[in-house]
Amino acid sequence: MARTSTARKSLPTRSSATPSGSPTTDTGAPEASAQTPLARAAATPLGAHLRPRRSPRLVAAGVLLASLGGLGGAMAYQQASHANQVLVTTRTVPRGSELRPSDLAVVTIGQAPGVHTVPAEQLSSLVGRHALVDLPQGSLIGASSIGELALQPGLTQLGLKLAPGRLPNQALPQGTPVQLVEVTSDKAESTSLLVDAQVVVAPSTLPDGSTRVLDVSVPEAQAQRLADLAARDLLVVVRRPGG
């Protein structure tokens, strides 16, 4: 008797919920797709739920630095927008001295309330004028410190160019009373000219290193005679007592 065999057909499995709520198969085993909380945590990428914590101190420091940076920028802009080019002296200029181009320089300064200055564009107009006060090297020049020297009526300003030994080595600032003395090699000449004068521009030395020049105020009536004596190197400057 022949034995027949029947083919066993595979039947689909059905899922059912376990009492705990997890889906299971007919065999009672949980489905592979179901994950426990621990498994889900393990499957979560590291740092996916971590948020950077901001330190209040760092935030405050950042705000402070930003504020300081803005303040510094505002101050720099204000200084740049209010910068002024003014004149200063490159050397000490005694009172009464005539200003030369080399005596002046241009510098840039910010706002200086209460400080009197002369704009740089007026440099050429100051050359040839006189210092009415002593101007130390590097000092700012004010409009009131430069001008024309005033002479009393009846006086004139005389420039003298003297050889070494014809005037004292001691400083002779503006206003110093002096006496102009005629000198001669003629011993028979008993009379010589003596004229009271006053220093208008302090003596300075020419580039040759020995010749001295200065300006004095003298009576108009004696100016021509004194100029002639100075040109012939027959004039000496003497400092008067008390001067």
Q: State which H helix or E strand residue 206 sits in.
A: none
pLDDT tens string 41-80: 555 555 455 555 666 777 677 777 776 666 666 565 555 5
Mean pLDDT is lowest, of 53-57, 107-111, 176-180, 223-227, for: 53-57
Residue from 94, 198, 122 nearest 156 by CA? 198
Contact in structure between 192 and 183 (CB atoms under 8 Å): yes
Higher-confidence residue of 12 and 36: namely: 36
Mean pLDDT is lowest, of 21-35, 163-177, 216-230, for: 21-35
Residue 104 binned pLDDT confidence (cut-offs 50, 70, 90): very high
Q: Give the separation between CA 139 and CA 89, rounded to whole angstroms.
A: 6
